[in-house]
Amino acid sequence: MEKPQTRIQQRNQAAILSAGLNIFSQYGFRGSTLDQIAEAAGLSKPNLLYYFPSKEAIHSALLARLLDTWLDPLKAMDETGDPITEIMGYAQRKLALSRDYPRESRLFANEVLQGAPHIAEVLATDLKILVDEKAAIIRAWSEAGKVADVDPHHLIFSIWAMTQHYADFDVQVRAVLGDREPYDGASVFLDALYQRLLQP
Amino acid sequence: MEKPQTRIQQRNQAAILSAGLNIFSQYGFRGSTLDQIAEAAGLSKPNLLYYFPSKEAIHSALLARLLDTWLDPLKAMDETGDPITEIMGYAQRKLALSRDYPRESRLFANEVLQGAPHIAEVLATDLKILVDEKAAIIRAWSEAGKVADVDPHHLIFSIWAMTQHYADFDVQVRAVLGDREPYDGASVFLDALYQRLLQP
DNA sequence: TCTTGATTTGACCAACTGGTCAAACCAACG
DNA sequence: CGTTGGTTTGACCAGTTGGTCAAATCAAGA
């Protein structure tokens, strides 16, 4: 289905998406301008619109690419593995995502903050289905006495909240920590937190 | 120092701040327009600018009002109280703030997401000082064996993250939960989480 | 080299942006 | 009732916004 791409197309589309990610993740959709993105991508505005038909199109492409990878860590949580290891592994993978892809995290945060106008449906269908499925697994684990009996949905929310916080509120975290690096301490803390919470 | 205010001034300024809170908290500073705010406030744009000299002024007024009350729950954490009760009380107060003032929470989230251009200094001074002070108290508690030995800064971050998540990602939380109410479950979960984490 | 299709751009547009201003309006007090 | 000072507005402005288009430029295969 993909059309063949010239090298120039690949390079410019990549540059536009990267620039768009920088801008959109900082200012949100409405707060970002094509001129900003074009300049960040090193292209003229008409040239940018030669590769993407509209501002919306760039944003949609970014969101689509994001959602694909964003849910992977949760999908990877394995029913047959050791429960506590699986949950803690998920939390650590999600934290690594915040550390390595903070812009994507902020893009997502901006979208949801603004009421998720572009992805409300995905949240209510795909995401909900995935979460309900994994929540059922966790529930089964607690009923088998393998992890503590806590609400699985709120457990998952807590992992999202804690990990995304380090990407989305990066400025605040760093302002408070001074020059200490955030992620090492976060990783240790997460470990202790869920170790203690989940022990049956 | 306050100038005397007519009833009309009070009503209109309040209307503008309320409308501004609605708009800014959803679209961020750059994504919001004076026309939107004016319409939401039921005023014409020139009339709005009769009460506030600029878009910035409305935003600043909101942020100032917010910061005042936003830090109160942390300030109220009492060195002389029972450690675990104090920390869990703080978490619950912060959660109540998210439930009762979600727009304020999102206004703050938008500001920090965009790099905190208007409040970077407050974060690096007032906030840092307050957090360092409370972190020292928590550290003393753990050294006295009254609470578990966890990094106090990351403990505080975790409370911020978990409570703000329910306001800032409200759309996502509700999409996943379906028609279940979020805050009751959140309160119970928070309680279990910190009870288990903090027990020495 | 020449041609063809991909790429790039300057000029342009209508709608919208934050903000101004003089004139009109209105409430209340003497 | 008339005046005075607070209030409201229509018309307006310069700069910015997302987007268009024809013409110019370029890359690469025949």
**Planar angle of CA B175, B180, B184, nearest 5 degrees:** 115
pLDDT for the residue numbered A168: 98
* pTM of the full structure: 0.95
Give me the pLDDT at residue B7, please. 82
SS3 content of chain B, % helix, strand, coil (to 5): 80, 0, 20
**CB pairs < 8 Å spanning A and B:** 177
Helix axes A83-100, A102-113, angle to 10 degrees: 90
**Nucleotide of closest approach to A57 (CA, C1'):** D18
How distant is C1' of C10 from CA of A46, in Å? 10
Query: Does residue B8 surpass a pLDDT of 90?
Result: no
State the Cα–Cα distance between residues A181 and A165, nearest whole angstrom.
15
ipTM rounded to 2 decimals: 0.94
For residue A114, the model assigns a pLDDT of 96
Question: Torsion angle of alpha carbons B112, B116, B119, B120, nearest 10°?
Answer: 110
pLDDT digits (tens, 9 = 90+) for B126-171: 999 999 999 999 999 999 999 999 999 999 999 999 999 999 999 9
Reference A21, options A72, A69, A73; nearest CA is: A69
- Whether A50 and chain B come into contact, CB under 8 Å, resolves to no
Tokens (6 digits) for B49: 């600018």
Is A4 (CB) below 7 Å from strand D? no
User: How many other C-beta atoms can be found within 10 angstroms of the C-beta atom of residue B151?
Assistant: 19
**How confident is the model at residue A54, as a pLDDT?**
98
Q: Does A107 reach chain B within 8 Å, measured CB to CB? A: no
Q: Give residue-wise pLDDT tens across range A111-159.
A: 999 999 999 999 999 999 999 999 999 999 999 999 999 999 999 999 9
